Chain A
Amino acid sequence: MSLLTENNRQYYEGAQGFRGDGTTTKFTTTFDTDLKWYAAERTDESYGKNNFKLYTSANGIPGSWSEVVADYTVSGNTIEFTTAPVDDLYIVVQLKKLDGGEYGNNTTEKAFGSIVEDNYGSYAYTELNDVINNFLVAYVGAGKLIPSVKRSDIIFHAKRAMQEFSYDTLKSVNSQELTVPHNLSVVLPQDYVNYVNFYWVDDQGVQHVIMPTNNLTSSPYSVPLQDDQGVPTQDNFDNNITGTSIIEDRWNSNYMKDNVIDDTIAGWEYYYGWPEFGYGQLFGLDTQYANSNGYFTINDREGKISFSANLVDKIVIFEYISDGLSTNLKTKVPKLAEEAMYAYISHAVIASRINQPEYIVQRLKREASAKLRNAKIRLSNLKINEIVQVMRGKSKWIKH
């Protein structure tokens, strides 16, 4: 059976057509995406939450379509009209699309959204739901290595696999484009687990790496107010009184504040970080600070990222990893890592079970490890012609 269930029009255009026959009132869509329906009337505030729009036309000619905004309900993926559409009436369900689709006559009628685009490229992935179900079908049962197992155990191990793989195997690097405000701090993303890279972007759209402060400075986790003996003081509720960090204030108002990074050209000949203290200078260079692009630090106390003062008002790109589970079980697993996930779950189930022969546990452990390695290699996206292109510069000096 083919794994592709959508036709070309459904995939590319995000639309599916039907014809009225004067008697049929129910029409069922077969998109990979389930219909989400909240209201039929445009005047209803929930109408905008629908993930599709419905159009009809008497002849199907462009410009003749009109949006249906009443007299229908949706149950599951089935649209039911109150009265049967007349014979030969053209009916189209248009999932929301960045360009609004082809059927609306104006911006009000067009189906603006990104439902269609969310589905593009989805064939490279499988849902975590499906991984769990596939595992239960293929690996669990009488006569198999796992005769029976609680489904919740499989769900747990599958989600843990998703988390572990997200940290170092899957291409689950998220990114945000942010502007550094005048308080030099931005809030950590909701699904943040760890950072990968920070860049500031110049007028040409070119990225420049921002480095962590390392030992230059840090943000204290707590800032208790002290009395003249150095002892933290308490409030009426017997809790420590906390203040603002002096360290952070000093860092935010240091010399870099007056040396905002040039927007057009950022090169080594321009100002390096802190010349007065010798950080990043040409002589006596400490390479970890040899960076003209500014610094960032993670402020765990406030759950924020703080940037050095020379990055104020700059556009920064923040790449970070999540654990792949921030949304729901529709979480996508790359097919290139699917086998590794089965192996991980198999090993986790057998290893946590009593009275299992150790050689079986070890066999599964090796299998899981080998398949994880395969997945990493596959997902690292090494292409021979790209490597060749990189290696053409092999005679150059390696500078870092």
Chain B
Amino acid sequence: MAINVDTVYKTVLLILNKEQRGYITPDEFNKTATQVQLDIFEQYFDDLNQQLRVPQADFDYADRQMNIDEKISYFKVQGNCDYNTTGSYWNLPTTAVGNLNLNIIYDNSPLGNGEAYFYRLGTVTYIPLTGYPVELQRLQRSDFYTIDKSPLTRPTEDFPCYLYEGNRLLIKPTSISSGSTVEASMIRKPLDINWAFQANGPGGSYIWDSSNSQNFELEQSEQVNVILRILQYSGIVIRDPQVIQAASAEVAQNEANKKG
């Protein structure tokens, strides 16, 4: 699934070093690679929105909506919300299950093992004792008040709603409270890239330490895109406009092909 960080780093170095143009250190690579990964990741959501407005071909591998959703799906996690009795609100899940079992971190504290930052909230679901799970409707604060005023739209346990503010969920009807089960699906943030090394190679050269490295979490199909975008940033690092231009032209062409 993931793109091997060593493959990317060595490919980047290979391209950059042609004609002795320059070199980027592992630290520079890690920072630019993380930047690139986030850049590509964030673009998925805009691309998906764009593709949702375009009729798609219902054909294996050619449906762009499906393809983008597939790229995002690796980062989808789901967990149970906790009810705060004092404040009568629900906290977002602190542990979540996806491709990994993770503790979800909502502030800026440094990540430990098995932890990931929260990125976006997806669907909130109420699990009643009988019947099927019910998706909660997300409302803005103004709607959250006015929806109660019409007897026709007033939330019920069959059709509940929620307000999302400050990583908290306020849910109506209030009968969904302590003792109820509310689940939230979320997107977690990709983990930071790390090309770890040990400086014990020939002549003190860096040897890749696979066990301490963090690969790209993006799909394999993004490898070319990742390398090109890192090259863009690398061109800035080594102050070579030719690298920037070549990489930018390639990225632009790929983008045009994807969305044309």
Give me the interface of A with B, judged by CB distance under 8 Å.
34-35, 75-77, 129, 132, 142-143, 147, 150-152, 155-156, 159-160, 325, 328-329
Contact = CB atoms under 8 A, between A and B. Distances in A.
Given A152-B143, A325-B152, 19 more contacts: A34-B130, A34-B131, A35-B130, A76-B129, A76-B130, A129-B158, A132-B159, A142-B52, A142-B65, A147-B52, A150-B137, A152-B139, A152-B153, A152-B159, A155-B153, A155-B159, A156-B153, A329-B158, A329-B159
B159 A151 contact: yes
B55 interface: yes
Task: Name B's interface SS.
Answer: loop
Task: Name A's interface SS.
Answer: loop
Given A142-B65, A155-B159, A159-B152, A75 B129 contact: yes
Nearest to A158: B152
Contacts of B150: 156
Nearest to B132: A133
Contacts of B153: 152, 155-156
B130 A155 contact: no
Interface of B: 52-53, 55-56, 65, 128-131, 137, 139, 143, 147, 150, 152-153, 156, 158-159, 161
Contacts of A160: 152
A156 B65 CA distance: 31
A155 B131 CA distance: 19
B152 A151 contact: no
A329 B156 contact: yes
Nearest to A128: B158
Contacts, number: 40
A143 B65 CA distance: 11
Contacts of B65: 142
A106 B257 CA distance: 79
Nearest to A132: B159
19 contacts: A34-B131, A76-B130, A77-B130, A132-B159, A142-B52, A142-B56, A147-B53, A151-B137, A151-B159, A152-B139, A152-B159, A155-B152, A156-B150, A156-B152, A156-B153, A325-B152, A328-B156, A329-B156, A329-B158
Contacts of A129: 158
Nearest to A153: B153
A303 B113 CA distance: 70
A152 B158 contact: no
B51 to A, nearest CB: 9
Contacts of A77: 130
Given A34-B130, A160-B152, A328-B156, A143 B55 contact: yes
A75 B143 CA distance: 34
Contacts of A35: 130
Nearest to B56: A143
Identify the interface centre among B65, B128, B130, B139: most chain A CB within 10 Å of its CB: B130
Instruction: Sort A-B residue pairs by CB-CB distance and give the 5 closest, nearest first.
Output: A76-B129, A76-B130, A159-B152, A152-B153, A151-B137
B42 to A, nearest CB: 21
A155 B139 CA distance: 15
A156 B154 CA distance: 9
Given A132-B159, A328-B156, A329-B159, A152 B52 contact: no
Contacts of A150: 137
Contacts of A34: 130-131
Identify the interface centre among A76, A77, A142: most chain B CB within 10 Å of its CB: A142
A76 B129 CA distance: 5
Contacts of A75: 129
Contacts of B159: 132, 151-152, 155, 329
A77 B53 CA distance: 43
A151 B137 CA distance: 7
A345 to B, nearest CB: 13
Contacts of B139: 152
A329 B155 CA distance: 11
Contacts of A156: 150, 152-153
Nearest to A325: B152
Nearest to B156: A329
Contacts of B55: 143
A338 B56 CA distance: 30
